[in-house]
Amino acid sequence: MTSVVNVTDSALTVDSENQLEQPDTSFKALIQQIQEDWIAHGRDWTKPGLRAVVVHRFGVWRMGVKSKFWRAPLSLVYRMMYHKVRNTYGIELPYSVKLGRRVVVEHQGNIVVHGNCVIGDDTIIRQGVTLGLRHLDRPLDAPILGNRVNVGAGAKLFGKITIGDNVNVGANAVVLIDVPSNSTVVGIPAKIIKSKADSLA
Please tell me the distance from the alpha carbon of residue 131 to that of residue 144, in angstroms, as a whole number.
Answer: 9
Task: Supply the pLDDT for residue 198.
Answer: 54
Residues 54/97, Cβ–Cβ less than 8 Å: no
- Strands (E) in 11-65, as ranges, are 12-15, 20-23
pLDDT over 60 (residue 201): no
Task: Supply the pLDDT for residue 136.
Answer: 87
Task: Supply the pLDDT for residue 195.
Answer: 67
Residues 52/91, Cβ–Cβ less than 8 Å: yes
The two beta strands, 191-195 and 183-186, are antiparallel
The SS3 call for residue 144 is strand
Look at 27-31, 91-95, 99-103 and tell me which has the smallest mean pLDDT.
27-31
102-106 own/partner pairs: CB under 8 Å, 24+ apart: 102/36, 102/37, 102/39, 102/40, 103/37, 103/40, 103/53, 104/40, 104/41, 104/49, 105/48, 105/49, 105/50, 105/52, 105/53, 106/49
The proportion of the chain whose per-residue pLDDT surpasses 70, expressed as a percent, equals 84
The model's pLDDT over 113-122, given as tens digits with 9 standing for 90+, comes to: 999 999 999 9
The model's pLDDT over 19-57, given as tens digits with 9 standing for 90+, comes to: 445 556 688 989 999 999 999 999 999 999 999 999 999
The model's pLDDT over 67-90, given as tens digits with 9 standing for 90+, comes to: 999 999 999 999 999 999 999 999
What pTM, to 2 d.p., does this model score?
Answer: 0.82
Q: Please report the DSSP string for 74-109 in residue order.
A: HHHHHHHHHHHHHHHH-EE--TTSEE-TT-EE-S-S
Task: Supply the pLDDT for residue 100.
Answer: 95
Q: What is the mean pLDDT of residues 95-110?
A: 95
Please tell me the distance from the alpha carbon of residue 85 to that of residue 54, in angstroms, as a whole number.
Answer: 10
Q: How many residues does the chain have?
A: 201
Residues 47/55, Cβ–Cβ less than 8 Å: no
**2 pLDDT band (50/70/90 cuts)?**
very low
Task: Supply the pLDDT for residue 5.
Answer: 36
pLDDT over 60 (residue 173): yes
Q: Which residue has the higher pLDDT, 201 or 190?
A: 190
Task: Supply the pLDDT for residue 130.
Answer: 97
Residues 57/33, Cβ–Cβ less than 8 Å: yes
